[in-house]
A and B are shown apart, each in its own frame.
Chain A
Amino acid sequence: MKNWFQKNPKLLATLREEVEDNFPFLRVINTGRKVVIKGTYELVLGGIIVERLHVLIVIPDFFPREIPALYEVGGRFPKTAKRHFFLSTKACLFVEEERFKYWQSNSIKDFINGPVRNFFVSQVHYEKTGEWPFGDRSHDEEGLMEFYREYFDIHNYRVLLRFLEYFAAGKIKGSHKCPCESGRSIKGCKHGQGILDLNDNVERQVFKKSLRRLKLIIRQDPKVLTRVI
């Protein structure tokens, strides 16, 4: 099976050009199986270089539909959930369903100048002030729930599970019953437009991943289903 850069060499060429033209200390490395960007990222704020960070950005198999993975490999920040890293030490830039807010284009330049930069701004700001400047979400499934609560005004994990199962199935029709369990059709429910919009903006793989994660949590602790936020 061909990788994204084998299927679309122009996309790789564009990515390479964007990195080389805009980030003199980052290099695009094609290993044949994966493409990674590695090097030093200069965090420039107010025209001042406040940090030089060693980074590794792994371009995923389904780029640009999938979000690149960012790693800070210089040991500068503690790799904990509190500091917004995953167990794998990958930086957690945002709940993936929220990508459409923070990285709309497929440009790697925009990705680095947007979510990557803002992640590091958050980290250094937190170190100086003890506060996350753009807010932060709770860890694990609670953070995921927070997003869906804000987006759909849903308050329990049982309904969240329904929503994720519905999105993961990948077939959205106005005549379907809304996963909120109101009994209304999607067309007639207050969640209808939100469902259509989110489905348009988020890859199905993302919903599937969130569903897998939530099911993992439920297997470990079935009482989660009765939890109300």
Chain B
Amino acid sequence: MSKDKYLQDVLDQEEVGDKSKEMKALRQERDNVEKILREKLSSKLSIRYGGSKAKGTMNKMSYDLDMTSYIGSGDNEVGETLKEIFDQHKKALSEDYYVEPKKSALRLKSKKAQTDLCIDVVPGRFVDEKKEDCYLYQNEGEKQRLKTNLSKHISHIRDSGYVPEIRLAKIWKTLGCVGAKTFILELLVVKILGDEKAKEGLSENMKLFYEKLYEKIETIVIVDPANPQGNDLSNILTTSVRLELKIEAEIALKRISEDRWVDIFGRIEKADDKTKTAAIISAPSSISNGAKLWGSEKF
């Protein structure tokens, strides 16, 4: 199998189609979240998909749904300050979900099953009547306020011409638990391949990406397309993150030189759910020393 074919198969395997069970589950939960926010906070909230769904970069192995929930610039219905807006969203969702605050988002987890629902709600306020730029609350770091523009973010990635490469880079990040934020990785792919005017097939582009990443990561400068002058990304693309990316790029290049692409992007798994279930049910019979598990609510 050619390398490009293999990489395309990886992407196909990781596709989260609109009719997939993952998307249906997310959509159902999204509808519930939207209903809660409109009923408890305001019917005037502007709620839309952000993140990988809107950018077209969603992968099955690590997906989440970003939902932005913005109130109008002069509207204090959900709170006066950005912090109040953030806290009101948290309060509204806490009855139905376990809510974990992140830097600017609220991560939702199921109260019943205690598992991650893969949904981030991002509260904010539009800067003005144009409803393009918006302010987000930041509950970490020096600045309490972040100015951004969802449409600009989305189009910068979606229209970059490198969506497949971005998805592969995200797969690499997920499998290797690479510490860089996904947002930064996306910008790096667009910047590096854009600067190189990369046009070859997937495997050549990914090899080029890792080569240039290894070569340039210590000094490369990337900007936030939504607010190039205002948002400093150096507190996200830190020295230690740069070092980790360099190390991981080196590992990837070594594997590419040994033709071990599966050790970067994973195997193609053709088994369907029924086959996987059968494998799970029969597995214990071939294990001779499985342990009796223990557990504790006291220790």
Residues of A whose CB lies within 8 Å of any CB of B are 24-25, 27, 38-40, 42, 45-46, 48-50, 52, 54, 74-87, 92-95, 98, 101-102, 114-115, 118-119, 121-122, 124-125, 128-129, 132-137, 139-141, 143-144, 213, 216-217
Q: Tell me which residues across on chain B come within 8 A of A129, comparing CB atoms.
A: 281
A80 surroundings in chain B (CB, below 8 A): 114, 295, 297
Cβ of B284 < 8 Å from any Cβ of A?
Answer: yes
Q: How distant is the Cα of A124 from the Cα of B273 in the complex, in angstroms?
A: 13
Query: Are the CB atoms of A136 and B294 closer together than 8 Å?
Result: yes
B291 and A139 contact, CB distance less than 8 A: no
Contacts of B283 in A (CB 8 A): 45-46, 121, 125, 133
Pairwise interchain contact A81-B295, C-beta atoms closer than 8 A: yes
Chain B residue nearest in CB terms to A48? B271
- Report yes or no: A76 in contact with B290, Cβ–Cβ below 8 A: no
Are B297's CB and A140's CB within 8 A?
Answer: yes
Residues in A neighbouring B260, C-beta threshold 8 A: 24
Nearest-neighbour CB distance to chain B for A109, whole angstroms, equals 16
B1 at interface, CB cutoff 8 A: no
Q: Which of A40, A87, A121, A136 contacts B292 (CB 8 A)?
A: A136
Which listed residue (B174, B282, B287, B295) contacts A118, Cβ 8 A?
Answer: B287
**B113: chain A residues within 8 A (beta carbon):** 78
CA–CA, A217 and B296, complex, Å: 12
Report the Cα distance A140→B294, complex, angstroms.
8
Measured in the bound complex, the distance between the Cα atoms of B287 and A82 in whole Å is: 22
With A24-B263, A48-B269, A78-B113: A139-B295 Cβ-Cβ less than 8 Å: yes
- Whether, in the assembled complex, B219 has its beta carbon less than 8 Å from a beta carbon of chain A, the answer is no
CA distance A98 to B277 in the complex (A): 30
Is B131 part of the contact surface with A, judged by Cβ < 8 Å? no
Q: Which A residues touch B275, using CB under 8 A?
A: 48
Q: Return 11 A-B CB contacts under 8 Å, by A number.
A: A24-B263, A49-B267, A50-B276, A52-B266, A86-B295, A92-B295, A92-B296, A118-B287, A118-B290, A134-B290, A134-B292
Contact B279 A76 (CB under 8 A): no
Min C-beta distance of B229 to chain A, whole Å: 36
* Contacting residues of chain B (101-155) with chain A, CB-CB under 8 angstroms: 109, 113-116
Shortest C-beta distance, A46 to chain B (Å), equals 4
